[in-house]
Chains A and B, each alone.
Chain A
């Protein structure tokens, strides 16, 4: 490879062309359109009318609650997913009998074979008055309200996004060199110390990837809050759906989108910097 390091430029260009075109037409152009729209005005009957105004951005505080909800529930959902997913990934990667490993891994994926919409709709009934609250009444706990609360949305989020968190962590634990664990215990490290000083740091790339995947998707989530929040737990995604599909205020919707993209760019780049630094170049990220 070193001997003939001159790359074949044409081949490289040909291989990258489809992705580049896709990137250009499906990401860059639409983003530019959204940016232009965000400075326009709502047409009389709804939609977009040209113009240049900062009115839409000035109106952003009217959606403050949606931004707040998203900025609180998305990180919370990511954190809870991590706490639930890590032990599961750990068990699957290091503890389970090899014979069952594949089966258990498939079981983690199985829910993906049904649409998230259908699965989330099912949760409406599980969390609704005749579901879990009725069971709780049987054991004497009365008046529990689950559906249409932030808690219900969090349950839906953790349920829906768990596999996305399990797999990256599983992969990083799977390729962890087991002899390191033996070495640690031979040298007198307690199981907790071994976990804290060896397993956890070595699985950080998986954690970082899983958190990033889940967090980015959650910031744009609208289906789970719409179904399990009953219109009361309102995300930016829901505000966008309303602005484009109900009140037909495209310019304001575009301004909200641009703001969301900006918030994401800032948080994600901060996050990347933090995780990069903590790894000190020791291990490659999965991203």
Chain B
């Protein structure tokens, strides 16, 4: 796991510079506390001496002692979660999921006990239609600043004029290549499947996730990532089944396989690409030339969340720009919030994996709502896995 920049102490010179900026009013107190590391120190003290804690998440009241948070693998900074627990006395139980379908299935079955979960853009209208998530009371999330969020990523949160979630991060879905093992530098999904069935046979991971796995196969065939056309899906299924004997695994938890070098290529989300490349420079993240996905993730509260107070407090805490930046420093995904991006080191702001050039992203599509519930896509994925 990559180290957070916040672990490094700030230099005296930088501290004084930030202090002057704070005195001049050119930065907020929160920013000052954040970049100097004083924020974290004060947050800890804040539990004992509440008046020191300047955050708007102040009036904690009695939040109970637990919160169930369902999210994705490698997608949070443990320091943030620990700090929230220390401040509020709320212990966080974390569940990691590999697909939106799995989250939907659990919520549909009911009684999940989840308080906060992380759905992706294209699922939100489905959740609203199925009456599975709550409309948010934004007055309880004062740290959320709608104006600071790129509407391209934040808009799916609003359905029929009501806001159901607040944005977390955005990113792309492409693939990762271990360039020491695969020399041909595949550039497209077509290359990806060609290499899988030739030089890279036995070393490719596909996600256990219909959207990206079927989507990648569709792109390789020249179709839309989001296609729900029966004929196109049948071709994608044939390609997937043909490639199956050449796969290393079908799993959305692909980092262990890539790190052990058992796998040489995998469908990959860009932040995981950053995490892998930080530790193994031979890892190359590729946005495919023949398409792929651009997405944004959100914090949402299920309809039957048992710890509603804690859920709001947690989302508000996670919306703090400093907390967001510290999260991103570990998981590598770009925040949607301009305030958090401003707090990131310059190297992250200009990172080509996190902020790809616009022309690279031209071919990418946001996931479409109907892919989540389309029965043919669901069955194609299930048949591919049992083939």
Chain A residues with CB under 8 Å of chain B are: 42, 44-47, 62-63, 65-66, 124-125, 128-130, 145, 147-148, 230-232, 234, 238-239, 242-249
Contact = CB atoms under 8 A, between A and B. Distances in A.
B169 to A, nearest CB: 24
Given A129-B262, A246-B99, A246-B210, A234 B385 contact: yes
A62 B381 CA distance: 12
A46 B248 contact: no
B261 interface: yes
Contacts of B210: 246-247
Nearest to A129: B262
Given A231-B250, A232-B247, A239-B386, A246 B101 contact: yes
Contacts of B309: none
Contact of A245 (B106, B250, B375, B387): B106
27 contacts: A44-B375, A45-B108, A46-B104, A46-B373, A46-B375, A65-B386, A128-B260, A128-B262, A129-B261, A129-B262, A130-B260, A130-B261, A145-B202, A230-B251, A231-B208, A232-B249, A238-B386, A239-B382, A242-B382, A243-B382, A246-B99, A246-B382, A247-B375, A247-B381, A248-B378, A249-B378, A249-B379
B126 A45 contact: yes
B130 interface: yes
Contacts of A42: 375
A246 B108 CA distance: 11
B385 A238 contact: yes
**Which range holds the interface residue count of chain B?**
35 or more
A232 B262 contact: no
Contacts of A246: 99, 101-102, 105, 208, 210, 378, 381-382
Interface string B98-131: 0101101110110000000000000000100110
Nearest to B103: A245
B260 A46 contact: no
Contacts of B109: 244
B383 interface: yes
B256 interface: yes
Nearest to B207: A231
Contacts of A47: 108
Contacts of B375: 42, 44, 46, 247, 249
B379 to A, nearest CB: 6
A248 B262 contact: no
B190 interface: no
A118 to B, nearest CB: 14
Contacts of A231: 208, 249-251, 385
Contact of A247 (B101, B249, B257): B101
B326 interface: no
A46 B385 contact: no
User: Shortest 4 CB-CB distances between A and B: which pairs?
Assistant: A230-B249, A231-B250, A247-B378, A129-B262
A62 B108 CA distance: 25
B244 interface: yes
A275 B378 CA distance: 43
B267 to A, nearest CB: 13
